[in-house]
Amino acid sequence: MVVLSLLFLVAAVFLRGDPSAPGDTTPSGADSTSSSTTDPEDTTTLPGDTTSTTEGGGSGLAPLQEVALETVYTGINQPIGLTAPVGDDRLFIVQRSGFVRVLDANRQLLGTPFLDLTGKVLAGGIEQGLLGLAFHPDYATNGRFFAYFTVPGGSRRLAEFRVSAGDPNVALATTEKVIFEFVQPPNSTDIRHYGGQLAFDPEGYLWIASGDGADSRAQGQDPNTPYGTVMRIDVDSGDPYSIPEDNPFATTGGKAEVWAYGLRNPWRFSFDPVDRNLYIGDVGHNTREEINVVPLDEGGGYNFGWSDMEGDRCFHLSGCDPSKYTSPVIVYLHQDFDREYGSVTAGYVYRGAEIPELHGVYFYADWVQGFIRSFRYANGAATDERDWTEDLEMPAGTQITSFGLDGHGELYVLTWAGEVLKFSAVR
């Protein structure tokens, strides 16, 4: 696998910008599942959790000249998610329309979708559809994975599926087991703000991001609803799930599934398994975008402010007291850009093996502005802020839908135009 990774790195350096390149010269037909390194005894391993934290120098790599975005694939319609089982060499691309497609270990797009949910998914507007996908930490042995999507009628559904016994590149929609489903809040008048992110935390619990449903602004401040929250459930006990006993509202004070609330539309969130922090991007209303960072180990129950506040300003509640809410660590204003709108696309802390110089750096982007920025989180604040847009040659206004991690913790970014781009080291 190390050799394979190096081959890809070489391809990235020499073939950058040629979307069909990384695989053209590589024999096809390799068994894309044969190199899985998942330890079935370890339920807590996340991509990026197992690599050295050496800050370069000791890694044996040549000096880093620059970080570039390698074009892995182009022309896949509206990709909104990228993930893979831990240790797996394939990439699973989530399309809003309801397909999950496989780029095999040679980065060839398989003709048959891994999963076709188009018969179940309602993908209206720009915010409905298949919105999130997460593989169980023990996927290599149990074949379980989870999807979050909107269904006809406008409800949002979390469901479990299983890979086919005979084909590791195909899962059937008929294996669906609904975990939960809930309608839009009663005062919602718009088909927006569903959230979307699914991810397993280092303890093996499944987290779900759920937006406020739009035009339903009271919901964000009520932890007794699923709206405007991130939720945390145990899909390894109970039927169809149980509540982790250390959830902040497990017994009182709010809905038992809710881990944090006061969110508007938490489209994407991620965990840093090394520093054990949760990073949430909350899409703002009409002036501000924000990134929130909170520790996983201090009990949860955070109130991120919406809709009393938008970012760092009072919104519905005039004369609000910001100290009553968990403040964002990053706020940026729509008015600071030529395009006077914004929509934050939260990313990941880089913990991959190929660019150890970036360990601990958190990347995020904006769907309207097309920028890619980063910071390091230290002592409760964003430090070492940097704008990468020019260095990464990201055209202004590129609609960045999501970041994603592969099975080895390497970082990718997806665009509405159909690009799959990988953060790559040029050495």
Question: Shortest Cβ distance from residue 342 to Ca ion (Å)?
Answer: 14
* In contact, 87 and 137? CB cutoff 8 Å: no
Distance of alpha carbon 302 from alpha carbon 269, whole angstroms:
15
Q: With contacts defined by CB under 5 A, name the span among 118-126, 156-164, 248-256, 302-310 that binds Ca ion.
A: 302-310
Distance of alpha carbon 215 from alpha carbon 188, whole angstroms:
5
Q: With contacts defined by CB under 5 A, name the span among 127-135, 190-198, 222-230, 296-304 that binds Ca ion.
A: 296-304
Token representation of residue 203: 């303890």
Question: Shortest Cβ distance from residue 412 to Ca ion (Å)?
Answer: 27
Q: In terms of Cα–Cα distance, which of 260, 272, 248, 240 is closest to 411?
A: 272
Question: Shortest Cβ distance from residue 289 to Ca ion (Å)?
Answer: 10
Question: Shortest Cβ distance from residue 327 to Ca ion (Å)?
Answer: 8
Question: Shortest Cβ distance from residue 347 to Ca ion (Å)?
Answer: 18
Question: Shortest Cβ distance from residue 426 to Ca ion (Å)?
Answer: 37
Q: x/- binding map, residues 117-156, to Ca ion, per CB under 5 A?
A: ----------------------------------------
| Residue 272: other Cβ atoms inside 10 A | 22
C-beta closer to Ca ion: residue 241 or 304: 304
C-beta closer to Ca ion: residue 243 or 278: 278
Q: In terms of Cα–Cα distance, which of 98, 105, 29, 107 is closest to 74?
A: 107
Q: x/- binding map, residues 261-280, to Ca ion, per CB under 5 A?
A: --------------------
What is the tally of helices (H) and strands (E) in the chain? 2, 27
**Residue with nearest beta carbon to Ca ion:** 305
Question: Shortest Cβ distance from residue 304 to Ca ion (Å)?
Answer: 4
C-beta closer to Ca ion: residue 17 or 322: 322
* In contact, 147 and 132? CB cutoff 8 Å: yes
Of residues 369 through 408, those in contact with Ca ion by CB under 5 A are none
Q: Which residue spans within 61-214 are E strands per DSSP?
A: 66-73, 79-83, 91-95, 99-103, 115-116, 130-135, 144-150, 156-162, 177-182, 198-200, 206-210
Place of tokens 């409760």: 380
Binds Ca ion (CB under 5 A): choice among 300, 305, 356, 370: 305
Question: Shortest Cβ distance from residue 381 to Ca ion (Å)?
Answer: 16
C-beta closer to Ca ion: residue 305 or 352: 305
Question: Shortest Cβ distance from residue 377 to Ca ion (Å)?
Answer: 16
C-beta closer to Ca ion: residue 199 or 263: 263
C-beta closer to Ca ion: residue 307 or 402: 307
Residues binding Ca ion: number (CB under 5 A): 2
Report which residue type is found at 261.
Y
CA gyration radius, the chain = 20
C-beta closer to Ca ion: residue 251 or 318: 318
* In contact, 89 and 407? CB cutoff 8 Å: yes
Token representation of residue 67: 């970080």
Distance of alpha carbon 34 from alpha carbon 402, whole angstroms:
28
Binds Ca ion (CB under 5 A): choice among 304, 364, 388, 423: 304
Output the DSSP codes for 99-135.
EEEEE-TT-PBPSS-SEE-TTT----TTT-SEEEEEE
Q: With contacts defined by CB under 5 A, name the span among 198-206, 269-277, 299-307, 367-375 that binds Ca ion.
A: 299-307
C-beta closer to Ca ion: residue 159 or 258: 258
C-beta closer to Ca ion: residue 79 or 266: 266
Question: Shortest Cβ distance from residue 331 to Ca ion (Å)?
Answer: 9
Q: With contacts defined by CB under 5 A, name the span among 30-38, 52-60, 140-148, 297-305 that binds Ca ion.
A: 297-305
Q: Which residues contact 238 (CB under 8 A, 6 or more apart)?
A: none
Total number of residues shown for the chain: 427
Q: With contacts defined by CB under 5 A, name the span among 191-199, 230-238, 266-274, 305-313 that binds Ca ion.
A: 305-313
C-beta closer to Ca ion: residue 114 or 304: 304
Distance of alpha carbon 262 from alpha carbon 200, whole angstroms:
21
Q: Which residues bind Ca ion (CB under 5 A)?
A: 304-305
